[in-house]
Amino acid sequence: MTHEILDHTADVGFRAKGDTLAEAFESATRAFAEIVSYEEPPEATDTIEIEVDAEGEDIEALLFDYLARLIYVQDVEGVVVVDADAEATEEPPRVKATLHVAPTRRGYMDIKAPTYNEMLVKRDDNGWTLEAVLDI
């Protein structure tokens, strides 16, 4: 499982990889955390359970909805998402995750929303790759 932050002209993007779809979503969560925390995510102090279901849609919609839920959790719960333990299925497109979170402090990046711009979901012999751009 790996992730990298991608250069983008106005927003910020990432590429996350994993042997399985669940591992790719876990990598995406760590990329999200790195973006929000400016590279150094804090130590998690609590967990929050979420489930995202994109029934009737595809994995791209699932990725979009998952990222939107991470933003929602941070905004509503007053926490920073640090990591996740995820279970994911392709059919139906669904992610259940235990989010590892820490209290919000000043200095974190405010993510407005995920975008479909340059979004990529790809499965090949090396596993899964998820790419997304976040509106900041």
Contact residues for 82 (Cβ-Cβ < 8 A; gap 6+): 33, 37, 41, 42, 43, 44, 99, 100, 101, 102
Q: What are phi and psi of 11, to 5 degrees?
A: -120, -160
pLDDT in tens, 34-62: 999 887 788 999 999 999 999 889 999 99
Residue 8 pLDDT greater than 90, yes or no: no
Q: What pTM, to 2 d.p., does this model score?
A: 0.92
* CA-wise closest residue to 71 among 93, 50, 88: 50
Judge contact between 102 and 82, C-beta under 8 A: yes
**Domain count of the fold of the chain:** 1
Place of tokens 């995820």: 86
In CATH, what number is assigned to the domain containing residue 104? 3.55.10.10
Q: Which structural domain range is residue 121 located in? A: 2-135
